[in-house]
Chain A
Amino acid sequence: MEKSYTLARVARRRYVARILCYPARVSAVNPPLNPGAPRHSAVVRLTHWLTVIAFFALLVSGVEIVISHPRFYWGETGNVMTTPLFTLHIPSSRDTVPTGYGYVMPDQNGWSRALHFQSAWALLFTGLVYGLFILWTGHLRRDLFPAPRQRTARAYWNVIARYLHRAPPDESEAHSCNAVQRAAYLGVLFILFPLVIWTGLAMSPAFDAAVPAAVNALGGRQSARTLHFFVSGALVLFLVAHVTMVALAGFTSRMRAMITGHASLPPELP
């Protein structure tokens, strides 16, 4: 009974792996059984680039929205009549905000807000597809949760030491993520993205009416706005680190892997 269940599971996973064109068994320990299998599956590649587009739209529109009121507060309320927690020393698109600049930027909040929310929806749907995919195929358990031998402080230290020495990546890293990469991706997926969605929703007056705890637990509307700003900043820091690592690891081959699925050119091409 136990055996047939396991066989069924293996068969199912192989079938799913085939239709989603992901290598059936890839782990940090074993090299892929099929060297021709793609490094990134089609679903991962598609959701990755949709996330890139949505993230940039959210970032640009988010900056535009901040320009209309570049002051941040803590607690429930805050406006130009109250003391800010901190101020960004940039010009504003509203003449009611004292900035010290002698001019007012054009108002771009209309389309910025519309683009911000539409991109947030696009990112949410993309995240749902990605989330279901990594759960269903075992990509999360196999490739993103730390492998058993990666669950030690030494494993993390080895990776960091290699980064610091600018040493070439380990053989296993051609087919799987190392301990630090896994921690960074899990942090973005399960800490930063949920936090940025939560703090964003907590700024919606209708959502706060439906779920008051969402904003009260953050310490109020202005606290939610300030936290949204910092979590967005953390996501931008991840983006900078991510692109830097891609560039150091070999920009062309890594980009090719995330676009075509294969790190190297197919053999039939010169």
Chain B
Amino acid sequence: MSHISRRKLITTGLAATAGLGGLAVAARVARRYGLIPPDDGGLYGAGETLNYAAQRLLSSHSLAREFSRGMVSKAPFANEVAPPDDRFKRLQAGGFSGWRLAVSGLVARPGLLSLSDLKSLPVRSQITEVVCEEGWSYIAEWIGTPLADVLNEVGVLPQARYVAYYSADRNWWDSVDMAEALHPQTLLTWGMNDGDLPVGFGGPLRMRVPRQLGYKSVKYITGLTVTDSLKHLGKGLGSPEPEFGYAWYAGI
């Protein structure tokens, strides 16, 4: 390999050192500004981190597209859910008047909110698209209380970084960062297309996160936990999805 000159060797060495140093600095800066997702480890951690960091830099404050009433899908698709348990059936028989949203964690006033408590807070409706990671989609009008207004009501403490949310379906929970939680279109939804939210679509209460894929819009919400770290929740990946290979950040 006599044709590799000393100059070339030095140039390559300098470039490699600069590259590695740059990566280390980038990782420190990213951690400091909250650009590292909870599922940053493993084979695809680099890709997940790049997706999350790039979208946080690009779209933290962007609004999801809203559509005209004429664009609302005549045939929305509810997708499959686990069959409801007895407790859910009892609540459904009572018109969900006994449904409670438990708010806990880093908040000044933890407690239970009924659906009518939620409806007494500011109401917002939006016509947005549900996008499934499989490829299909539909548009509906979603009516509900912005998560930001609920968090405001209970008084979020300054060290809050994530909001985890839990479903009546015990295996189902997820979480979002504060940028998504405080986003005006992130909605605790109880109405759809001018009616109550049907059970198939997540009624009586669904978290709508329109800037992320459908699986972040968890159905049958019964609890919220405000936290500064996702490490102690479940397996510490921010949701059960990463255990099956699905990204915690689903804006892509």
A residues sitting closer than 8 Å to B (CB atoms) are 19, 21, 65-66, 68-69, 71, 73, 76-82, 94-96, 107, 109-111, 113-115, 117-119, 121, 203-210, 212, 215-216, 221-222, 225
Taking A19-B8, A94-B134 as given, write out 4 further A-B residue pairs in contact, using a Cβ cutoff of 8 Å, ordered by the A residue number.
A81-B76, A205-B211, A208-B65, A221-B137
Q: Which residues of B contact A68 (CB under 8 A)?
A: 133-135
Whether B135 lies near A65 (C-beta < 8 A) is: yes
Shortest CB–CB separation between residue B56 and chain A, in angstroms? 9
In the complex, B71 has a CB within 8 A of chain A: yes
Given A81-B77, A96-B79, A110-B246, does the pair A206, B59 have CB atoms closer than 8 Å?
yes
Point out the residue from A65, A79, A210, A215 that lies within 8 Å of B138, measured CB to CB: A79
Shortest CB–CB separation between residue A224 and chain B, in angstroms? 11
Give Cα A225 to B212, complex, Å.
17
Q: Which residues of A contact B131 (CB under 8 A)?
A: 203, 205, 221
Shortest CB–CB separation between residue B252 and chain A, in angstroms? 4
Give Cα A18 to B237, complex, Å.
49
Give 22 A-B contacts (CB < 8 Å), ordered by A residue.
A65-B134, A69-B136, A76-B67, A76-B129, A77-B139, A80-B77, A81-B76, A81-B77, A109-B246, A113-B133, A114-B44, A114-B245, A118-B44, A118-B47, A118-B48, A121-B47, A204-B55, A205-B212, A207-B252, A210-B62, A215-B65, A225-B135
Whether B252 lies near A221 (C-beta < 8 A) is: no
Task: List the A residue with the shortest CB-CB distance to B77.
Answer: A79
Q: Which residues of A contact B76 (CB under 8 A)?
A: 79, 81
In the complex, B178 has a CB within 8 A of chain A: no
In the complex, B20 has a CB within 8 A of chain A: no
Within 8 A of A (CB), among B70-122: 71, 73, 75-77, 79-80
Shortest CB–CB separation between residue A95 and chain B, in angstroms? 8
Q: Which residues of A contact B43 (CB under 8 A)?
A: 114
The 10 closest A-B pairs by CB, nearest first: A110-B245, A118-B47, A206-B251, A81-B75, A114-B44, A210-B59, A79-B136, A209-B62, A79-B77, A69-B135
Q: Which residues of A contact B135 (CB under 8 A)?
A: 65-66, 68-69, 71, 225
Given A81-B77, A96-B79, does the pair A109, B134 have CB atoms closer than 8 Å?
yes
Q: Which residues of A contact B139 (CB under 8 A)?
A: 76-77
Whether B137 lies near A76 (C-beta < 8 A) is: yes
Q: Which residues of A contact B170 (CB under 8 A)?
A: none
Shortest CB–CB separation between residue B54 and chain A, in angstroms? 9
Given A76-B71, A79-B75, A111-B245, does the pair A207, B51 have CB atoms closer than 8 Å?
no
Given A65-B135, A80-B136, A82-B75, does the pair A209, B211 have CB atoms closer than 8 Å?
yes
Q: Which residues of A contact B65 (CB under 8 A)?
A: 208-209, 212, 215-216
Whether B244 lies near A110 (C-beta < 8 A) is: yes
B residues sitting closer than 8 Å to A (CB atoms) are 7-8, 11, 43-44, 46-48, 50-51, 55, 58-59, 62-65, 67, 71, 73, 75-77, 79-80, 129, 131-139, 210-213, 241, 244-247, 251-252
| A to B contact number (C-beta, < 8 Å) | 136
Whether B44 lies near A111 (C-beta < 8 A) is: yes
Whether A77 lies near B7 (C-beta < 8 A) is: no
Give Cα A222 to B135, complex, Å.
8
Give Cα A205 to B55, complex, Å.
10
Q: Which residues of B contact A222 (CB under 8 A)?
A: 137
Point out the residue from B11, B48, B59, B137 that lies within 8 Å of A79, measured CB to CB: B137
Whether B80 lies near A96 (C-beta < 8 A) is: yes
Give Cα A66 to B135, complex, Å.
8
Task: List the B residue with the shortest CB-CB distance to A97.
Answer: B134
Whether A121 lies near B50 (C-beta < 8 A) is: yes
Q: Which residues of B contact A73 (CB under 8 A)?
A: 136
Give Cα A244 to B79, complex, Å.
44
Given A19-B11, A76-B139, A205-B64, does the pair A109, B133 have CB atoms closer than 8 Å?
yes
Give Cα A209 to B245, complex, Å.
25
Q: Which residues of A contact B75 (CB under 8 A)?
A: 79, 81-82
Q: Which residues of A contact B132 (CB under 8 A)?
A: 69, 79
Given A68-B134, A79-B138, A212-B65, does the pair A206, B211 have CB atoms closer than 8 Å?
yes
